Structure formats: structure tokens, C-alpha cells
């Protein structure tokens, strides 16, 4: 079960979505027609962008189009699960394009593995993170009034092939979350590795740790 890790660096959201979609459709086609394929884990960062999932509500975006332009951001309605989220510089985005059947995983178990990988990365920095009941993603102090999200997760799956994935706040400018109700929540905060540690964290180091944790989780 070879899994190739691809680093796209900083890439505009629209371009990453198009390239993801091509690889996603190619993997589905390969499964259906018994052709060779690759499982891939893509790592990247995006310029400022908001994405709204299928079940998302437009009113969770608090800015007008003109205000979005003023903060140099764009908005996309996309085909993953979940509500609205933000991507931007200093945030590590990970898009696994995988045949889950090859790993013996259903969608719920797969999302659980993604969460566990991020929890492992946080632990490696001495941060105790975990889950929050009825909310995907990774949280700190999740069951307290100080609950704050450090990683958002939203996945699309078809024929047990995945796309989209997770967004881990590393050195993210958290002000951009104040312009939305992140993932539809109005009563919970967001955070980053930098915010929790009080210092900038090397992105290359976080990429390496996340890559290792995801591969470990996929191998079971």
C-alpha cells in the first residue's frame, strides 16, 4: 500500500481544487476499470480563502463581497461535507486522495484516523488536544467554555475514494476567523500551534510530523 506524499507549496485554492478533482476522478476510474493508481497525500498552503461546504449556511460568512476583496480573500462553495472554514498563509492544509478500501477503512473510521494524526502532531509539541462530541476536527479544552479548534476537517468520498481533508492552524493569522462563524459555531474559538506555544513554529517541521502521523494512522 504505497502512499505518495506530494508538497504543492503555496497554491491558489482554485488550482488545488482542480488538480485534486482530476486525481480524485482518475482514482475512481482506475478502481472501476482495474487500472493501476497511486494513493496520494497532498500538503500545501493557500492564499486567503473561505470555503463553504454542501451543508453550510451562507450567513456564516459575515462579510460582503466588497469586504472580502478589502481583506484580499475569496469565497468558494465546494463539494465537501461541513460548513464554512478559512484557509490562508501559515495554515497547513492536507488533501489525502485515497482508496479507503485498500486501507480497510470506512469514512467514519478514516476521519477518526485524520483526527488522531493531528492529535499526535499536537502531542509532539506538548499540546493536549482531542475531540469534541458532535463536532469533527481537533480541539483544545474541548469540553470546557474555553474550547478552541486547532484543526478543521471536511472530506468528500465517492466509491470509497477521498478528497479534501484537513486544515491545521500552525502560524495562521487568526483574525481571519473573526469574519466567519467557523464551521457554523458561534460560541467556540480557534487557535494555532503558534498561539498555544507562544512562538512561531517551522512549517517544514510540522509538515514532516503530520506526514509521518498520517502514514502511521493509515497503516493501522
CA distance 107 to 109: 5
CA distance 34 to 161: 14
38 secondary structure, DSSP code: -
- Active-site residue identified among 94, 122, 151, 183: 183
Q: Are strands 49-52 and 84-87 parallel, antiparallel or unpaired?
A: antiparallel
Residues 6 or more apart whose Cβ sits within 8 Å of residue 128: 122, 140
How does DSSP assign 52-77, residue by residue?
Answer: E-TT--GGGB-S-HHHHHHTT-EEEE
Annotated catalytic residue 183:
yes
CA distance 132 to 109: 16
Residues 6 or more apart whose Cβ sits within 8 Å of residue 217: 113, 114, 116, 117, 120
124 secondary structure, DSSP code: H
CA distance 20 to 94: 11
CA distance 131 to 154: 15
Residues serving a catalytic function are 183
Amino acid at each position: 500500500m504505497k502512499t505518495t506524499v506530494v508538497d504543492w507549496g503555496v497554491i491558489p485554492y482554485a488550482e488545488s481544487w482542480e488538480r485534486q478533482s482530476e486525481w480524485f476522478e482518475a482514482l475512481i476510474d482506475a478502481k472501476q476499470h482495474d487500472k493501476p493508481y497511486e494513493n496520494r497525500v497532498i500538503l500545501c498552503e493557500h492564499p486567503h480563502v473561505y470555503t463553504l461546504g454542501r451543508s453550510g449556511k451562507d450567513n456564516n460568512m459575515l462579510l460582503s463581497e466588497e469586504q472580502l476583496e478589502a481583506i484580499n480573500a475569496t469565497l468558494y462553495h465546494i463539494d465537501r461535507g461541513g460548513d464554512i472554514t478559512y484557509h490562508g498563509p501559515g495554515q497547513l492544509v492536507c488533501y489525502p486522495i485515497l482508496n479507503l478500501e485498500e486501507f480497510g477503512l470506512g469514512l467514519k473510521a478514516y476521519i477518526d484516523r485524520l483526527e488522531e494524526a493531528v492529535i499526535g502532531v499536537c502531542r509532539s509539541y506538548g499540546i493536549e488536544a482531542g475531540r469534541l462530541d458532535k463536532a469533527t476536527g481537533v480541539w483544545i479544552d474541548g469540553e470546557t467554555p474555553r474550547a478552541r479548534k486547532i484543526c478543521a476537517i471536511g472530506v468528500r468520498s465517492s466509491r470509497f475514494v477521498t478528497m479534501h481533508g484537513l486544515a491545521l492552524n500552525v502560524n495562521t493569522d487568526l483574525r481571519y476567523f473573526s469574519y466567519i462563524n467557523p464551521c457554523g459555531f458561534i460560541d467556540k474559538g480557534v487557535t494555532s500551534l503558534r498561539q498555544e506555544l507562544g512562538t512561531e513554529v517551522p512549517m517544514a517541521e510540522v509538515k514532516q510530523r503530520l506526514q509521518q502521523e498520517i502514514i502511521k494512522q493509515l497503516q493501522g
